Each structure stands twice: as C-alpha cells, then as structure tokens.
Amino acid sequence: ALLGFRRHSWRTVTGGSRNYVAEIAARLGAHDIRTGTPVTRVARADGTVQITAAGRPPEEFDAVVVATHPDQALALLADATPEERRLLGAFTYTASEAILHTDAAILPRRERVRASWNYFLPAGAGQGPRVTYLLNRLQKLDEPLPYCVSLNCEEWIAPERILRRIPYEHPLFTTESVAAQAELAGLGHADNTAFCGAWQGWGFHEDGLVSGIAAARWLGATW
C-alpha cells in the first residue's frame, strides 16, 4: 500500500534574504553601519570590549555579538577563554562548490516527485551525498527552465548548462559539535560577548535567526 504524505509548507522572503538585511539596516537609522570593514581583533577587559577593524584604531564598546563561523570567532578573539576554545573549537567545516545550472537531467525524471531538495547517495564507498535544490519550487520561480543549485554533482551536469560556481564552507555536524551546542548558552557572557550563527542549529536561516534573537535578548531586547 502507498502511504500519503504532505509536503512541508516552506515560506520565503519576497525578493530574497537580502531584503531583511536592508530592513534591519533601515530601522537602525542614524546608527553607525560599516560595510567592507573587516574586524581583525576583539579583546575584552575591565567590563568593556575593544574592537579593532582594518585601517582603524581600536574602539571601545559595552558588548559585542560575534556573528561569524566559530573558527573565525576564535581567530578574532585576542583573549579566548579555555571554555571558548573548547566549545568553538568543536566545530569544523567542509569545503564544497555549489553549481547554479539549468540541467534538468540532474533531477528525478518524473516531475511530480521533484522536491525543493533532491538527495541521492551513491552506492560506492567514500562518495558523498549529491544534493540539488530546485529553486523553481523552493523560491516559487515562474520560469520555463529549471534553475538548480547542486552540490557534489559536477560530472552529471552538462557544462553548457552551468551558470555560476560558488565556493562554500559548510559546518560539519559531528558528535562533538552537537554536544557542544548544548553547552553554548551563556558562552562569553561573563566577558560581555555573545556568539550567534546558523552553526548553533542545523545550518539553516531559521537557526541563525533563533541564535540572533537569543543574543538580542541577552543585550536587553524585548518583544
């Protein structure tokens, strides 16, 4: 017998996720927003945080929210505590290249079974999973061509169908990193520091949002 199922109802931001960044920036108004200014050093002392950005002298703040990958956070901290080194150091990353293309051959043959995320695990030992995001379904694109983002599938994609290659580093979820997640609450708070990012969950936008809300609440935000 066949079992019926319902697809999850995924919601997307109209115009792409860049729009909620623009909305946040607009609400900050006259506050100082700096783009293209990488932070090179974060140091905590005497209840304050000293932040150094490229090409600028050190500046002093009451607190800091570090919204980077954990390995990047450790590289920024001039005075990382043993607890920060242990928990942030539990996370590792794997490099991968995403390919944006229009090759429908990478998708299931029957259109009715094509999903937002299409997953295939080769039988050969040592081969990684092959994943293709169907953007037409995921982002509700009304386009005649299938727009896909694929990982670990290059040999299956016709070269003339490739539109762009995008290098990424994705968090590698291991027994150690998942165990560290359970201990993250309050990490750095004694030194006026909060950490947030999708790596505190399963790597999705929603996980980044949840961790960002937690950091905002620590700073005193209420809703």
Q: Which residue has the tokens 């990193």?
A: 177
- The mean predicted confidence, pLDDT, of the chain is 89
Give the list of residues 6+ apart from residue 219 with CB closer than 8 angstroms, or none: 63, 65, 194
User: Mind listing the pLDDT tens digit for each residue in 108-130?
Assistant: 989 888 999 898 877 766 667 78
How many CB atoms lie under 10 A from the CB of residue 66? 23
Return the pLDDT at 125: 61
Report the distance separating Cα 47 and Cα 186, nearest Å. Answer: 16
The torsion angles phi and psi of 147, rounded to 5 degrees, stand at -100, 120
Label residue 146 exposed, middle or buried (CB < 10 Å: 0-12, 13-18, 19+): buried
Return the pLDDT at 126: 65
Return the pLDDT at 2: 45
User: Is this prediction's pTM over 0.85?
Assistant: no
Return the pLDDT at 27: 87
Q: Is 171 strand, coil or helix? A: strand
Q: How many residues does the chain have?
A: 223
Low-confidence ranges of the chain (pLDDT < 50): 1-3
- Please give the structure tokens belonging to residue 33: 């927003």
Planar angle of CA 37, 35, 215, nearest 5 degrees: 95
Return the pLDDT at 10: 67
